Amino acid sequence: MTEPNPTVTEADLHAYADGQLPEAEHARIEAWLKDNPEEAATVAEWKSQSAAIQKMFGPYAVAKPDDALLVTLRSARPSWPRRAAIAASIAAVFAAGAVSGHYGPALFEKPQLQLTASETLPQQAQNAFLVYASEVRHPVEVFANEEAHLATWLGKRLAIQNLKVPDLQTLGFHLVGGRLLPVDGKPGAMFMYEDQGGERLTVLVGRNAGNHTTSFRFASADNLETFYWIDGELGYAVTGEISRDQLRQVAEECYRQFPS
């Protein structure tokens, strides 16, 4: 395979996949991809995932003309609308294709394409789910009957004042408990929930070294689905083997309850 052209960056590939490049630059990247089939396959997967997400959220894409297309979570927080409007805003971002390159699995394992915190977060969340969600006797360190202690303990370890354990009972999930685990080499928190049928999901909270705020993003690995977002100094990820729509509702509810 031809050695990667150092002038073709990760950002170039995302922009190419999203159709945001000028004609000449688009042609340049297209020619480079012909000589780099592995990267071409990854870009094709991004496009496919973007199309699938557009199809999924299309019915919600009714944002008003004056809505900011790439709305970030921090700017939206002061006047967070009802669930239908939230879905419309998120759908508008997805429909634009502006973040399609972030939905897939880990990016290229090449030195010049470093993974950012927002790209490693879903993988870490999925790994944590796979390790702990199947545990019968020891899925968590602190169980739900000590919820106050759980919130205080993890809040101190993550240096988060008034850390709240999300209440997801209105969505049919009760708290199992939580545990401390590493996220990007720093203390992170994982909360686990379960519904009446025994289906589990996890909510991961970790420090965001890059301190970049993002809108909701989606990642998938086999049957495992993750919605994640970065809000200032913290990153959040909701993971489970449930439908994307159900997981999206959980992510929205968690966002409402977590501290700014």
pLDDT, tens digit (0-9, with 9 covering 90-100), for 194-237: 999 999 999 999 988 776 777 788 888 888 999 998 888 899 99
Give the number of other CB atoms < 10 A from CB of residue 161. 8
More confident residue, 148 or 98: 148
CA 57, CA 67: separation in Å to the nearest integer? 17
What pLDDT does 253 receive?
94
What pLDDT does 68 receive?
38
Geometric angle at alpha carbon 93, from 89 and 94, rounded to 5°:
115
Judged by phi (left if over 0) then psi (alpha if -120 to 50, else beta), residue 81 lies in beta
What pLDDT does 51 receive?
64
Least confident of 21-35, 52-66, 67-81, 125-139: 67-81
Q: Is the pLDDT of residue 29 over 80?
A: yes
Tokens 């590493």 belong to 182
Q: Is the pLDDT of residue 105 over 80?
A: no
What pLDDT does 126 receive?
92
What pLDDT does 181 receive?
93
CA 86, CA 248: separation in Å to the nearest integer? 10
CA 171, CA 105: separation in Å to the nearest integer? 28
146 near 132, Cβ under 8 Å?
no
Strands (DSSP E) contained in the chain are 142-143, 174-183, 186-194, 200-207, 217-221, 224-231, 234-240
Per the prediction, the chain carries an average pLDDT of 76
The pLDDT-based confidence of 6 (bands split at 50, 70, 90) is low
Of the ranges 41-55, 58-72, 79-93, 97-111, the best mean pLDDT one: 41-55
Least confident of 98-107, 224-233, 250-259: 98-107
Enter the tokens of residue 64. Answer: 């008003």
pLDDT, tens digit (0-9, with 9 covering 90-100), for 136-189: 889 999 999 999 999 999 999 999 988 999 999 999 999 999 999 999 889 999
Verdict on whether the full-model pTM lies above 0.95: no
Closest CA to 114 of 238, 8, 28, 10: 10
CA 4, CA 228: separation in Å to the nearest integer? 30
Contacts of 126 (CB under 8 A, 6+ apart): 219, 221, 224, 226, 239
Geometric angle at alpha carbon 97, from 93 and 98, rounded to 5°:
70
Rounded mean pLDDT of 88-101? 43
What pLDDT does 50 receive?
64
Q: Is the pLDDT of residue 36 over 50?
A: yes
What pLDDT does 247 receive?
92
Q: Is the pLDDT of residue 59 over 80?
A: no
The pLDDT-based confidence of 118 (bands split at 50, 70, 90) is low
8 near 40, Cβ under 8 Å?
no
